[in-house]
Amino acid sequence: MKAIVHVGLKPGVLDPQGKAVADTLGRMGYEEVKGARIGKVIELDLDGVEAGQEDARVKEMCEKLLANTVIESYRYELVD
């Protein structure tokens, strides 16, 4: 089984990297870009997790390491 975790900054948290990307795209002629937010995607290969415990384990990983929950939000999906 695989877990795909998406982590991004919470609304209202400044994203200087996203602003730089949006500004640069505008200068390159993509005036339709009014903003950008940068995040990360983490793919976890899971093996040996007890059936029915996958959600709890991935959530625990996100809360403890993968996301700084003070400024970031996360979502994940489990795929076969």
pLDDT in tens, 34-43: 999 999 999 9
**What's the rounded mean pLDDT across residues 37-52?**
96
Residue 80 has pLDDT above 90, yes or no: no
User: What's the pTM?
Assistant: 0.88
Which pLDDT tens digit goes with each residue over 2-30? Answer: 999 999 999 999 999 999 999 999 999 99
pLDDT category at 65 given cuts 50, 70, 90 is very high
DSSP letter at 46 equals -
What Cα–Cα distance (Å) separates residue 56 from each residue in 49, 63, 75? 10, 10, 13
Q: How far apart are CA 77 and CA 3, in angstroms?
A: 6
> What is the per-residue pLDDT for 46?
96
Q: How far apart are CA 23 and CA 60, in angstroms?
A: 36
Domains of the chain: 2-79 (3.30.1280.10)
